[in-house]
Amino acid sequence: METLDVVRIVLGTAIIMVAAVVALRRIAFLNGYIRSGQPAVGRTSHVGKRAELEGTQVLAQRKLLQWAVPGTAHVFAFWGFLVLGITVVEALGEVYIENFWFPIIGTWPIILFLEDLFVILVFVGIVIFAIIRLLNNPAKEGRNSRFFGSHTGAAWIVLLMIFNVLWTLELYRGAKIALASEEGITYPGAFFSNWVASLLAPLGTGTLEVLEMLGVLLHIGVILGFLLIVLYSKHLHIGLAPINVAFSRLPNGLGPLLPMYSGGKPIDFEDPADDATFGVGRTEDFTWKDNLDFATCTECGRCQSQCPAWNTGKPLSPKLMIMNLREASFAKAPYVMAAQKANDGANPGLGEVDEAVLEKMPPSVKDAVERPLVGSRDGMPNKDTDGYDAAGHRDHDGPVIDEDALWSCTTCGACVYQCPVDIEHIDHFIDMRRYQVMIDTSFPAELNGMFKNVESKGNPWGMNASQRNAWIEEVDFDVRVFGMDGEETIPDDVEYLFWVGCAGAYEDRAKNTTKAVAELLTIAGINFMVLGEGETCTGDPARRAGNEFLYQMQGMQNVEMLNEIKAKKIVVTCPHCMNTIGREYPQIGGNYEVVHHSQLLATLVKEGRLTPVNSPEAGMKEVVTYHDPCYLGRHNNVYTPPRELIESVPGVQLVEMERHGPTSFCCGAGGARMWMEEKLGTRVNVTRAEEAIATGASKVAVACPFCSVMLNDAVTSKQQAGEAAGFEVVDLASMLLAASKPKV
């Protein structure tokens, strides 16, 4: 054996052994940390769908490609990682066996071609990533950068490491091919490596042998160093993203909230167990899937860039929330794992700490155990960014999550929709809200009124049930009210139960929508019925505010009643009612076919049962824009029917706002924000109204009573400031009705 071979084998083995020990220790920690979470329910069903997600989301990079430029760069890096995996095996083999190639396929020209192609594409990818990072430098762009608060230093190191992987690969491979060519062996297909070999060939055999050995050692050193950086940084996502996607909440993490579980068992709200955990009050109350989410975040900031709260100056960034939860739960994990071991796998009870275990922990872990999960960061550094500064440094004092950040979320779903690794932000935030409301009784004071009103009056406004039918007295056609003729179940001739909703019954603007929908259904000859005083709040605002007890009370009452009267097809005007009745009530035994009025009306227009004839002003063109409600669009995937309705009106031209469809911007009312004061930053509804006005349209059409209130308020405030003269907010149904009735 020659000296060079000995050096290569000894040094190569030493590098591999050291890296393997460090990597295995870290993998053992990560495994223990993730498994220390509470049981997660329903994460292994629908294997076919999960396999499909691996194909579309991981292999085809569907979500990443929503952003064309960074998405394409990521495709290069991801597929390069897979293809160049062959060369990693070859480099490890080369430590022990000279001129080692991957068995069978290693020297196929097509494989050699692909490897060289991806060396170039990965290089192009990292150049694009570098440019994107320079253009979005948080030190210059501040909050406008999606990398604000991300660990940018680590990201640059990883780009450098990828570059090192590429040049060391080409160094050893070029030398290897140059040496082989001296013996007349050629490698067709390796177009780039052959070119490098041609540059190195004049150096002569001795130098080439040294270069090959150095190249191999450098290459495996870089790769194993890269592996360790990955394991200790946000680049963990390279290994965890496919796993996180495989266990994601189907179909897409949006729509219904998850039922509440304690220790993996559903909570019986009529008779909860004494030791039941309500929501998340400590990091160890999160499930293993939640832990996996935190560890998987890539810090890409796509969620942050779309968040209405972050974009209007609130302390909430979904990315920073996830980073905070990761940092805190990683720091606390040694104690949690040891305490569970000492307590037969269970966490110490709520509010309890296993002092004997804690005593043995280092000071940093003790500090982590003492930090409250949620609380006020008033007066603390970086208050407006949940504790982070632009360089990605977190202030470690005080609560993990600023309560102002937690309560700023509108549950709009923009973060979940954007996240390329399927992190379920809303579920985590609602779980923390649940604990805050049901255990800690610490929540924005304004919610007290809403909770009391829903509980005592059956609607968030505190109106009397007798007022639910007031709108019927204002219309000049008959509306059938369930029970008025002694019905005990919905009569067979009634096609739809019209769920009016609290806003639709009590709020003036929403009442107009209710009346318009009822009239349009009457014109189209649809038999429908309303529940009148039999209706009560679905519980949606209480649930989004974390008051699951109240939601369960409302939901059970409604489901019992709807099942008793044998309701089947329900039409609603409110996307929140649609989401709750259609997608959350199945969790408590209510299964109905629920449609939004825009869907039903669009069908009636298509069937010719409604015929819009009047243009808004005879002979005039009217430009209208449309605001997608979060709970109709992102949460329930209804984008086309509202647009079809607008375009069905003669003389109306639809123009889109820059943020529309799945990337629509929230109105600010979801997540029970409708009942909270907006004290921080600028107003979400004003931002959205400005976008609508900027289209040059004369009207913005809305399809949700909350959006209607929010945008009307914003437009009024603009008009009071002397702006947006003549601009109007119209609901789809009223617009269609105006076009469908003969002009007088």
Return residues touching ligand SF4 (CB under 6 A): 297-303, 306-309, 316, 318-319, 322, 409-415, 418-419, 421, 423, 425-426
* Residue number, 348 or 575, with CB nearest to ligand SF4: 575
Give residue 442's identity as a one-letter amino acid code. Answer: S
Beta carbon nearer to ligand SF4, 87 or 436:
436
Residue 81 beta carbon to ligand SF4: minimum distance, rounded to whole angstroms: 17
Give whichever of 36 and 304 is closer to ligand SF4, judged by the CB atom: 304
Of the two residues 428 and 468, which places its CB atom closer to ligand SF4 in the complex?
A: 428
> Distance between CA 434 and CA 279 in Å, rounded?
5
Q: Compute the least distance from the CB of residue 377 to ligand SF4, in Å.
A: 17
Minimum CB distance to ligand SF4 smaller for 12 or for 413: 413
Q: Burial code of 324-361, b = ≥16 C-beta within 10 A, e = fewer?
A: bbbbbbbbbbbbbbbbbeeeeeebbeeeeebeebbeeb
Distance of alpha carbon 403 from alpha carbon 399, whole angstroms: 9
Determine if residue 651 is left, alpha or beta; phi over 0 gives left, psi from -120 to 50 gives alpha, anything else beta.
Answer: left
Closer CB to ligand SF4, 435 or 506, in the complex: 435
Q: Which is nearer to ligand SF4, 78 or 118 (CB)?
A: 78
Q: Is 107 exposed, middle or buried (0-12, 13-18, 19+ CB in 10 A)?
A: middle
Q: How far is the CB of 669 from ligand SF4 (least distance, A)?
A: 11
- Decide whether 405 or 577 has the Cβ nearer to ligand SF4: 405
Distance between CA atoms of 303 and 224, rounded to whole angstroms? 31
DSSP summary character for residue 629? P
196-to-192, 202, 419 alpha-carbon distances in Å: 6, 11, 40
Q: Where are the alpha helices (DSSP H) in 537-638?
A: 540-544, 548-564, 575-579, 597-606
Q: Considering the complex, what minimum distance in angstroms separates the CB of residue 392 from ligand SF4? A: 12
| 3-state class (DSSP) for residue 352 | coil
β-strand pairing of 569-572 with 593-596: parallel
For the bound state, the minimum distance from the C-beta of residue 146 to ligand SF4, rounded and expressed in Å, comes to 8
CB distance 509 to 708 below 8 Å:
yes
Give the number of C-alpha atoms closer than 13 A to the C-alpha of residue 338, restricted to the C-beta side.
17
Measured CA to CA, the distance from residue 395 to residue 486 in angstroms comes to 65
Nearest to 349 by CA among 338, 360, 358, 340: 340
Closest CB 264 distance from ligand SF4, rounded Å: 25
Q: Give the span between the Cα atoms of 394 and 390, in whole angstroms.
A: 10
- Report the nearest approach of ligand SF4 to the CB of residue 298 (Å): 4
Tell the smallest beta-carbon distance from residue 109 to ligand SF4 (Å): 38
Tokens 């177009």 found at: 191
Tell the smallest beta-carbon distance from residue 417 to ligand SF4 (Å): 8
Q: Cα–Cα distance between 34 and 292 in angstroms, integer?
A: 6
596 or 635: CB nearest ligand SF4: 635
Minimum distance, C-beta of residue 114 to ligand SF4, in the bound complex (Å)? 28
d(CA 357, CA 300): 37
Nearer to ligand SF4, 321 or 479 (CB): 321
